[in-house]
Chains A and B, each alone.
Chain A
Amino acid sequence: MLMETTSGLFFSLVPLIVFLPVIGLLINITFGGRLGEKVVGTIASLAVGGAFSVSLLLAYSLSVHHEAVIVPFAEWIHIGTLKLDWAFRVDTLSVLMMLVVSGVGMLIHIYAIGYMHEDVRFKGDVKRFRRFFVFLNLFIAMMMILVSGDSYMMLFVGWEGVGLCSFLLIGFWYDMDTLGRPSFANSNAAKKAFITNRVGDFGFILAAFIMFWAFGSFQFDQVFAKVPEIAVTAPWVIVAVTLLMVVGVAGKSAQIPLFVWLPDAMAGPTPVSALIHAATMVTAGVYLIVRSAPLFSVNHSVQYFVATLGAATALFAATIAAGQYDIKKVLAYSTISQLGFMVAAAGMGAYVAATFHLATHAFFKALLFLDAGSIILGMERGHHHLAHHNPHGAGAGGHEEHEGAHEEVFDPGDMRNMGGLRDKMKMSYWLYLIGALALAGIFPLAGFWSKDEILLDAYKNFPIVYWMLVVAAFFTAFYMGRQIWMVFFGKPRTEVAAHAVESPKVMTIPLMILASLSIIGGFLNMATILGFTLPGSHLLTVWLGHTLGEVEAGELNLIVAGLSTIFAVAAIYFSWLIYGRNPLAAGQPDPLKKPLGPVFFGMEHKWFIDEAYQFLFINPYRSASKFLADKVDWAFWHDWFHDKVIAGGYNWISKVLLNEYVDQRGIDAFANGVGSGTKRLSTMMRVWQNGYVRTYALTVLVGVVAILGYLLLK
């Protein structure tokens, strides 16, 4: 419904945000084989850049015309009372998401040109370069459908689409593991992500069914308009819909209990981890909750549940992150933890804070992941350099303990193999530091503002959640500090680390942009400081207020902000005490291992969640499927029902019933009876055919006389 007031604005351009990436991927599919790597990467980046420009135009249009604009695009499904169209919803929330997705997406595309150039060579399959960008563009298109759809079903199309892209990209090197050895590890990780997400999607679908049953529509406005009425007549419907949605959110946004796929998803190339598994796709769940704000705001206990779930995830994942050694695994658990923050905020009804943190997190987590990728590649470059010069000494550089563990393949992502990289990779070091400080929530970087807003809201309304989040924030600062000390400080623990090489400009420039966004991102929605409202504060609050309704503008609470800053600084200090003051020596176990004992053992092993799931779900599932396959399917259905009942019954019917009784004794007997009856009759009548013409003549005569006699005497 384009109204008069929108003339001169750019709302009608909105389909381009989906179709530009689609065009990009089509070009790359069709001609990419003949184009060089640079051209393929440029086309893909330009496609996303185009989508970003369109998003900017939309943002400008919205700054003039605040109301949501719905741009119908195509008829989709019309069955009975179900009327589903592909319509784009342009409002402040969706445009913010578009900006984040296409903006961060574009930077990651550019970075990926440099990253994949080397990655495909290290892995030894140059042809996959093009495929990567096709998948990446497809992902952007799907993510755009997700955030721009005007109904839950359109959102679901995008939701499934990004899930598919996630699967494709986690399993990008499907025939090897992250170190390039032939293995099913990556494809198994992809399957794990996909299947875990199916569990969540199941919840989403059920929520959608109930929604259609109760609300009679999937369209956002129509659903929300009915919420007050349904909340009175059938409150349980809203509880069911929201809780089932939370199942979907737990799957997509990696919350307890479905978060297990995200750490494994790090098997994908690093740009994928940054784009899909940190900045955009995993925030789809948060977007869903924020989008469904009218539904979630109705029921306080659901809100409480969601907030607690998010806070529990935040805390739980943060403890695991502190015990990991793989640089990307730390970031993965950190992402889960930060998603927990967002979900908690969305659950508490602090939708602006959740969205704010979503955006800032997209900046600094993408930065951290991409930088981690740059570091890993730097290590790999060092590894290749050494392998080239000294084929035998490439492993752990003469350290006996390491030699044993790593003599086969060197893991460039293991922080224990790093150390002292700050001199070798200066740019990566500074960028990583900015990202880490932003994530830790140090003033005045982006993470400080957004995390503080969440904490403030929790402090006011949900004290338990607040304390959980504060502890999680403490852990966040701690594990980021630990990472910085382990990776960049001290002496190189391996020869490889000593020969690490900085990444090219095409990779570091997007990182610089992301770093500056991580620094200034907080000014998107600065809080009022000591009653002082700086110009430009509360930008996001006002902006999202057009969609979410009036939201209370956040004020910097000195207690909350001070406490979280103290905690963050203290955590970094602790990490310095443990990892910075006495840098880890090569082969030395984690210094926390001894004092914490079993606790660290649990953190290191992810609290055995995977093992617990293996024991609780997968093994029973396996034995159940084995039982079903061997006993029910094979023994019962195949051997008994199919062979005995169906085949045997069919045999009996065909052999005995139809053959013996119907065919032989029925049809055959009838046919034979006709034959033999005719034969018997002819034997009987043969007597009359004596061959004497005179006899025949007499017969004729007698016949004629008889007929005439009858006619005459009648």
Chain B
Amino acid sequence: MVPVSYYLVISGILFALGAAGVMIRRNALVVFMSVELMLNAGNLAFVAFARMHNTYSGQLFVFFVMTVAAAEVAVGLALIVTIFRTKNSINVDQMNSLKG
């Protein structure tokens, strides 16, 4: 059996990649995908722990996370489309009009 730590390492790598993506990339769409990557890294960790503890609560949480992620995508993509329509760009660095 594959030890849990493997999954966790993969999960950590995925999360780090996602986080890096969020911070480095300027394309809003890519940032979004990086967020999804982080969420799924979390999901992987949940599932791994659920398996380890032999319970279903972790798996249940994964369902929640996926649902929330789906809803988030729906809202987020709509936002991105609207922003693109007004600004002709989805560069997140240009979205700083609320700066104090």
Provide a sorted-by-A list of 25 A–B residue pairs whose CB atoms are within 8 angstroms. A682-B100, A686-B100, A689-B98, A689-B99, A690-B96, A690-B99, A691-B95, A691-B96, A691-B97, A691-B98, A691-B99, A692-B92, A692-B96, A693-B31, A693-B93, A694-B23, A694-B24, A694-B26, A694-B92, A694-B93, A697-B19, A697-B22, A697-B23, A698-B23, A701-B23
A695-709: CB near B (< 8 Å → 1, else 0) gives 001100100000000
Number of A residues contacting the other chain (C-beta, 8 Å)? 11
B16-40: CB near A (< 8 Å → 1, else 0) gives 0001001110100001000000000
- Which residue from chain B places its CB closest to the CB of A695 in the assembled complex? B23
Contacts of B31 in A (CB 8 A): 693
- Bound together, the chains give a CA A337 to CA B18 distance in angstroms of 128
Contacts of B92 in A (CB 8 A): 692-694
Assess whether A689 is in contact with B100, with CB atoms less than 8 Å apart: yes
- Bound together, the chains give a CA A698 to CA B20 distance in angstroms of 9
Contacts of B19 in A (CB 8 A): 697, 701
- Bound together, the chains give a CA A697 to CA B28 distance in angstroms of 13
Interface bin, chain B: 10 to 19
Contacts of B24 in A (CB 8 A): 694
Q: Specify which of A682, A689, A693 lies most central, judged by the most chain B CB atoms within 10 Å of its CB.
A: A693
Assess whether A692 is in contact with B93, with CB atoms less than 8 Å apart: yes
A331-363: CB near B (< 8 Å → 1, else 0) gives 000000000000000000000000000000000
Instruction: Sort A-B residue pairs by CB-CB distance and give the 4 closest, nearest first.
Output: A691-B96, A691-B99, A686-B100, A689-B100
Contacts of A693 in B (CB 8 A): 31, 92-93, 95
Distance from B81 Cβ to chain A, minimum over Cβ atoms (Å):
17
Number of A-B contacts (CB under 8 A): 31
Which B residues contact A (CB, under 8 angstroms)? 19, 22-24, 26, 31, 92-93, 95-100
- Which residue from chain B places its CB closest to the CB of A690 in the assembled complex? B99
Distance from A706 Cβ to chain B, minimum over Cβ atoms (Å):
14
- Which residue from chain B places its CB closest to the CB of A682 in the assembled complex? B100
Beyond the given pairs A694-B23, A697-B22, 19 more chain A to chain B contacts, judged by CB atoms under 8 angstroms and listed by A's residue number, are A682-B100, A686-B100, A689-B98, A689-B99, A689-B100, A690-B96, A691-B95, A691-B96, A691-B97, A691-B99, A694-B22, A694-B24, A694-B26, A694-B92, A697-B19, A697-B23, A698-B23, A701-B19, A701-B23
- Bound together, the chains give a CA A694 to CA B95 distance in angstroms of 11
- Which residue from chain A places its CB closest to the CB of B93 in the assembled complex? A692
Contacts of A691 in B (CB 8 A): 95-99
Distance from A517 Cβ to chain B, minimum over Cβ atoms (Å):
114
- Bound together, the chains give a CA A686 to CA B98 distance in angstroms of 11
- Which residue from chain B places its CB closest to the CB of A683 in the assembled complex? B100
- Bound together, the chains give a CA A690 to CA B96 distance in angstroms of 7
Contacts of B26 in A (CB 8 A): 694
- Bound together, the chains give a CA A561 to CA B68 distance in angstroms of 134
- Bound together, the chains give a CA A691 to CA B91 distance in angstroms of 13
Distance from A161 Cβ to chain B, minimum over Cβ atoms (Å):
88
Contacts of A698 in B (CB 8 A): 23
Contacts of B93 in A (CB 8 A): 692-694
Distance from A455 Cβ to chain B, minimum over Cβ atoms (Å):
118
- Which residue from chain A places its CB closest to the CB of B22 in the assembled complex? A697
Contacts of A692 in B (CB 8 A): 92-93, 96
Contacts of B95 in A (CB 8 A): 691, 693
Distance from A624 Cβ to chain B, minimum over Cβ atoms (Å):
80
Contacts of A686 in B (CB 8 A): 100
Q: Specify which of A689, A690, A692 lies most central, judged by the most chain B CB atoms within 10 Å of its CB.
A: A692
Q: Specify which of A686, A689, A694 lies most central, judged by the most chain B CB atoms within 10 Å of its CB.
A: A694
- Bound together, the chains give a CA A692 to CA B99 distance in angstroms of 8
Distance from B23 Cβ to chain A, minimum over Cβ atoms (Å):
5
A674-694 residues with Cβ-Cβ distance < 8 A to B are 682, 686, 689-694
A475-519: CB near B (< 8 Å → 1, else 0) gives 000000000000000000000000000000000000000000000
- Bound together, the chains give a CA A262 to CA B95 distance in angstroms of 108
- Bound together, the chains give a CA A689 to CA B97 distance in angstroms of 11
Contacts of A689 in B (CB 8 A): 98-100
- Bound together, the chains give a CA A622 to CA B40 distance in angstroms of 107
- Bound together, the chains give a CA A698 to CA B19 distance in angstroms of 9
A240-286 residues with Cβ-Cβ distance < 8 A to B are none
Distance from B72 Cβ to chain A, minimum over Cβ atoms (Å):
15
